Amino acid sequence: MNENKPRVLSSSERKIRVVEQLGMPPGTAANRLRKLVLFNQLQKHRENICVRCDGTIETSDDLSIEHIKPWENRDSDLFWDLDNIAFSHRKCNVVHVNHGGGSRKVIAPEGQSWCFYCRTFKLVEQFTVHSMRWNGVSEECRDCKSKRNALRDRRKVSRFSDIGSPGACQASGEGSISLKPLQFLH
């Protein structure tokens, strides 16, 4: 007699059905959807630009999100700071340097320093002075810094015009790309 009564699925049964329907676990699907929504918004605001190569990011699959300044073991605010988020092509966000042992020190040739942003060795003169850092210069080269500042200014402008609110304008000039991409968006 119970056959016509709709049966309530257990949560594991429901999960199996969702996996069958979407072809992936619900968590993966939710992450993918979030990324799709984000990419769509970036496209709308013409911010789907790769910070590394300046090229257009064409699909959400190709979008990689990362923290500019590393937050781990430093400052949890950096994790949530939207000014500390950068977008790039996945292919451009490949870790080129094995800095080993969790240390962020990259040993550069004499007179040069590593830019965590464009990921190349450049002459020390091409960096701003940063007395707090172990090698005395900033983690990102002057070119990258001004590029990033320009992008941030543009974002502020688009926040102004689109939402009509100035948004958060705290700006600290310096920073560098963390070598760790945001795991959950990959």
Count of residues that interact with Zn ion, criterion CB under 5 A: 11
Residues 6 and 146: their CA atoms lie apart, in Å, by: 62
141: contact with Zn ion by CB under 5 A = yes
Q: Which of 6, 7, 29, 8 is nearest to 18 (CA)?
A: 29
Stretch that binds Zn ion, among 105-113, 131-139, 143-151, 152-160 (CB under 5 A): 143-151
Q: Which of 22, 38, 49, 92 binds Zn ion (CB under 5 A)?
A: 92
Q: Which of 144, 175, 176, 177 binds Zn ion (CB under 5 A)?
A: 144
Q: Which of 16, 24, 33, 53 binds Zn ion (CB under 5 A)?
A: 53
Query: Between residues 92 and 151, which has the closer beta carbon with respect to Zn ion?
Result: 92
Least separation in angstroms between residue 119's CB and Zn ion is: 8
Q: Which of 67, 89, 113, 177 binds Zn ion (CB under 5 A)?
A: 89
Q: How many CB atoms sit inside 10 A of residue 131's CB?
A: 6
Distance of CA 55 to the CA centre of its chain: 16
117: contact with Zn ion by CB under 5 A = yes
39: contact with Zn ion by CB under 5 A = no
Q: Which of 36, 118, 151, 185 binds Zn ion (CB under 5 A)?
A: 118
DSSP tag of 78: H
Least separation in angstroms between residue 26's CB and Zn ion is: 31
For residues 53-91, one letter each, b for 16 or more C-beta atoms within 10 angstroms of the residue's C-beta and e for the rest, the string is eeeebeebebbbbbbbbbbeeeeeebeebebbebbbbee
In sequence order, what DSSP letters do the residues of 93-155 get, joined into one string? G-------TT-----PPTTEEEETTTTEEEEGGGEEE-TTSTTSEEEEEHHHHHHHHHHHHHH
Query: Between residues 15 and 104, which has the closer beta carbon with respect to Zn ion?
Result: 104
Q: Which of 39, 48, 50, 148 binds Zn ion (CB under 5 A)?
A: 50
Length of the chain: 186
19: contact with Zn ion by CB under 5 A = no
**Which residues of the shown chain bind Zn ion in the complex (CB under 5 A)?**
50, 52-53, 55, 89, 92, 115, 117-118, 141, 144
